[in-house]
Structure 1
Amino acid sequence: MSLFSVIPAFSRRAAIAVCLLCCGAASAQSPAPARQEIVHFGTFENDMMFDTDRYYTNGVQFSVKGSRDRRGRFVRGLTERACGPLGCEGSTLLTTQTNFGQLMYTPNDITVAAPQPLDRPWAGLLYVEQSYALLSPDRRTLTTLTAQAGVTGPASLAEDAQKLFHRMLDRPLPQGWHNQVGGSLAVMASAERRTAIDGLSATFGDDIQVNTAGYWRLAAGNIMSYAAGGLAVVVGKDLPDVSPPPPGIGNKLAPQRFGLTTCMVRWLQCTTFGVVESRVMARSIFLDGRLFHNDRKVKRRNFVTDLMVGMRLDFPDTRTASHGPWFVQLKVTRRSREFSATIPVPRHRMAAITLGTEF
């Protein structure tokens, strides 16, 4: 029996759309502007800062973001049709972004080799992701369309990566990866709509801005299906009305304007942010296992909330003619309980560091 014969129709359509969108950047036929801004950055996210090694325990991602519209004719038509129900007709492409990454999930005690039916399943995902950010004519609403495709199970290399990392740091080796969620093609498509909120935004002395945006997101696929809503507050200088989610706060400043700084010194630009997001979960392969398979699973909670705070530091003196200033970004996330069991299930915390260049 083939894989596609057991995936529901909506997942098959999502898989086709994901593959086409992910390939769209490589199939562009339309003429491009003479100059393109390209950003490269990497993100490392882990819970070891809080002395834990459990649940969503590690994520790594390398990203390339550009301002040139490299969509092929078909993908352009697909994103334009998606804008009909989403209300983003007439929006212009702000950025395209390609992400390559790996996610890793484990139970609370990784030294147990036996199955742990009351704890979170072992799971890994190796993925590629393509997203398009579209800015409305009034520059106050940002719509982001994202497609993700990857593999779970041994092909995700999560077991190899965790064991290598633990050997390098002389930490206990994980023993239960043979219990992980099995291998499959994994896909997900999502749409996010982010709008500036005037009533919660203001400018204070020394040109310090507080910009607030509300957003919603819908995601569907055999990786995860959910609906989310949130509020994001960004504090900095010369900020756009609405910004992409971190990383990429996107305080785009002309080179001569880097004298505007929130950090008391000329050579440092600071931006801080806080986000609260709630999700109604319909499915997660990391908790429910694969469709139509007897994977390890737990009782998923349908309502999950994330609280995120962070700071981004730009170093304007590192700007050159070919790229913007280097930046480093720190983010801490506190996540509510994602599943229920007869054993205690604590909230989870993780920290992320991102390093790269921005516009």
Structure 2
Amino acid sequence: MHPTHFTFAAACATIAAVLMLSVTPAKAQADACAPQPHRIVSGQVENDMFGNGADRNYTHGTQLTYMTGGRVPQIVQDLAQGTPGFRKGDRMQFSVSLGQSIFTPDDITIPTLQRNDRPYAGWTHVGFGAVSFHRDCNQRVDEHVTRIDAVELAIGVIGPLSQADDTQILWHDWIGADEPRGWSNQLRNEVGIVLTYERRLPRDIDFEWFEALLPFNLEAHATPHFGFSLGNVFTHAAAGGTVQIGTGLNTTDGVPRIRPSLPGSGYFEPSDGLDWQLFAGAEVRAVARNIFLDGNTFRKSHRVEKEPVVVDFQAGLAVTVGPARVSFTNIWRSREFVKQKAWDEFGSISAAFHF
């Protein structure tokens, strides 16, 4: 591994570790009309091996996230409360994440530039997020959250410094898969910044009539959402919704995903026994910029003509046992660029733990 590659990875890890330790004092944020926050560690692995089995387009993603259980740093509170939707007194939690995403053309065995297919690209980043859970204090304390607002700032690097080439080549060597031979054509080094805002409205659609039809006292929720991302990596507006059926729906904020994706902060409360949720959702994105299709921002690079509208569909299962939760999500993504041969399909595996 090149020394500069190691230096960047070490810097990201160090920043994340320092922030995790610095924002977790024992004193919890007071909120009379919401349960106490919890410290949660979660990990996601997304790969097309779990979907259509092909190595193409968005081929792999990994992300580790730490959600704090203590008081949110004052600077984060001040910034969040200046964002529409965040209100003083709402329960807020802060998260730090470290992730990597890998993108490749359809045939990774070709060493030369494939002008009609998407560029090779990697994106390694640190994310700093805040999630606000609003609950109407005029309702009973055990009533559900009525609005969730989330904001995240992701900072990282695209290009050889992302180490995506090393990751894919090493992984394929371990599992005996085709050797990726075209990484010399990847996007050039560029610092990437993305600001993402999301609003979710849990149970905003009345599903009581549907719940009455379900056996075994099962619950059903429908949650519309909307939001946007702004930056040199992604710029888009999004809207969609998710339907859940199962038990303990008021104790979870959906499974986490690697952006761009349907939202879900990954927050959940421990279960006294076993809780489970089946879920399905869709999101439409109006895309103004995607660096992994448009190419580098400040220098000439390989690019393809992107589709202005992209649709995601997903379905999956989450199971919570005591302080642990595991989930699997299957995702179908429409064509992202004009000459893309087919829709994408990939899977996401997530595991999370309270402590």
TM-score (norm 2): 0.82
Of residues 298-307 and 233-242 in structure 1, the stretch that sits farther from structure 2 once superposed is 233-242
Q: Which amino acid aligns with 2:349?
A: I
Distance (Å, rounded) in 1 between the aligned partners of 2:230 and 2:98 = 19
In the TM superposition, what is the alpha-carbon distance from 1:29 to its structure 2 partner?
11
The answer as to 2:34 corresponding to 1:33 is no
In the TM superposition, what is the alpha-carbon distance from 1:250 to its structure 2 partner?
4.6
Which residue of 247, 257, 279 corresponds with 1:237?
247
Q: Is the 8 A contact 2:194 2:233 kept in 1?
A: yes
Of residues 204-213 and 55-64 in structure 1, the stretch that sits farther from structure 2 once superposed is 204-213
Distance (Å, rounded) in 2 between the aligned partners of 1:61 and 1:213 = 24
In the TM superposition, what is the alpha-carbon distance from 1:30 to its structure 2 partner?
8.9
Distance (Å, rounded) in 1 between the aligned partners of 2:19 and 2:173 = 39
Aligned CA distance change for structure 1 residues 249 and 233 (closer, same or farther; 3 Å): farther
RMSD in angstroms over aligned alpha carbons? 2.6
Deviations 1:120-146, CA, capped at 9 Å, x for gaps? 110001111111110113221000011
Aligned CA distance change for structure 1 residues 135 and 47 (closer, same or farther; 3 Å): same
Which residue of 150, 156, 163 corresponds with 2:162?
156
Q: Which amino acid aligns with 2:106?
A: N
Distance (Å, rounded) in 2 between the aligned partners of 1:250 and 1:39 = 7
Q: Is the 8 A contact 1:67 1:95 kept in 2?
A: yes
In the TM superposition, what is the alpha-carbon distance from 1:329 to its structure 2 partner?
0.7
Q: Which amino acid aligns with 2:352?
A: G
Aligned CA distance change for structure 1 residues 198 and 294 (closer, same or farther; 3 Å): closer
User: Partner residue of 2:220?
Assistant: 210
User: Partner residue of 1:126?
Assistant: 124
User: Partner residue of 1:68?
Assistant: 70
Structure 1 unmatched ranges of 5 or more? 1-19, 259-267, 317-323
Aligned CA distance change for structure 1 residues 280 and 94 (closer, same or farther; 3 Å): same
Of residues 192-201 and 138-147 in structure 1, the stretch that sits farther from structure 2 once superposed is 192-201
After TM superposition, the structure 1 = structure 2 runs for residues 256-267 of structure 1, keeping only pairs within 5 Å, are 258=273
In the TM superposition, what is the alpha-carbon distance from 1:292 to its structure 2 partner?
2.4
Distance (Å, rounded) in 2 between the aligned partners of 1:347 and 1:190 = 25
Q: Percent identity?
A: 26
Q: Is the 8 A contact 1:228 1:280 kept in 2?
A: yes
Q: Which 4+ stretches in 1 moved above 3 angstroms?
A: 20-31, 197-200, 244-251
Q: Which amino acid aligns with 1:56?
A: Y
User: Partner residue of 1:310?
Assistant: 316
Q: Which amino acid aligns with 2:162?
A: S
Q: Is the 8 A contact 1:91 1:135 kept in 2?
A: no
Q: Is the 8 A contact 1:122 1:177 kept in 2?
A: yes
Distance (Å, rounded) in 2 between the aligned partners of 1:312 and 1:283 = 32
Aligned CA distance change for structure 1 residues 155 and 96 (closer, same or farther; 3 Å): same
Q: Which amino acid aligns with 1:52?
A: A
Aligned CA distance change for structure 1 residues 353 and 31 (closer, same or farther; 3 Å): closer
Distance (Å, rounded) in 1 between the aligned partners of 2:292 and 2:280 = 26
In the TM superposition, what is the alpha-carbon distance from 1:87 to its structure 2 partner?
2.9
The answer as to 2:254 corresponding to 1:252 is no
Deviations 1:183-226, CA, capped at 9 Å, x for gaps? 01111011101012444423344221111111101110111000
After TM superposition, the structure 1 = structure 2 runs for residues 1-359 of structure 1, keeping only pairs within 5 Å, are 32-33=27-28, 37-49=38-50, 50-71=52-73, 73-82=74-83, 86-90=84-88, 92-138=90-136, 139-202=145-208, 203=211, 204-240=214-250, 243-246=253-256, 250=267, 252=269, 255=272, 258=273, 268-316=274-322, 324=323, 326-341=324-339, 345-358=341-354
Structure 2 unmatched ranges of 5 or more? 1-14, 30-35, 137-144, 258-264
Aligned CA distance change for structure 1 residues 244 and 132 (closer, same or farther; 3 Å): farther
Distance (Å, rounded) in 2 between the aligned partners of 1:254 and 1:169 = 36
Distance (Å, rounded) in 1 between the aligned partners of 2:168 and 2:28 = 42
Q: Is the 8 A contact 2:20 2:66 kept in 1?
A: no
In the TM superposition, what is the alpha-carbon distance from 1:36 to its structure 2 partner?
6.7
How many matched pairs? 315
Q: SS of the residue aligned with 2:167? A: helix
Q: Which amino acid aligns with 2:90?
A: T
Of residues 40-49 and 157-166 in structure 1, the stretch that sits farther from structure 2 once superposed is 40-49
User: Partner residue of 2:11?
Assistant: none
Q: SS of the residue aligned with 2:293? A: helix
Distance (Å, rounded) in 1 between the aligned partners of 2:305 and 2:171 = 30
Distance (Å, rounded) in 2 between the aligned partners of 1:102 and 1:96 = 20
Distance (Å, rounded) in 2 between the aligned partners of 1:200 and 1:345 = 39
Aligned CA distance change for structure 1 residues 253 and 32 (closer, same or farther; 3 Å): closer
TM-score (norm 1): 0.81
Aligned CA distance change for structure 1 residues 21 and 314 (closer, same or farther; 3 Å): closer
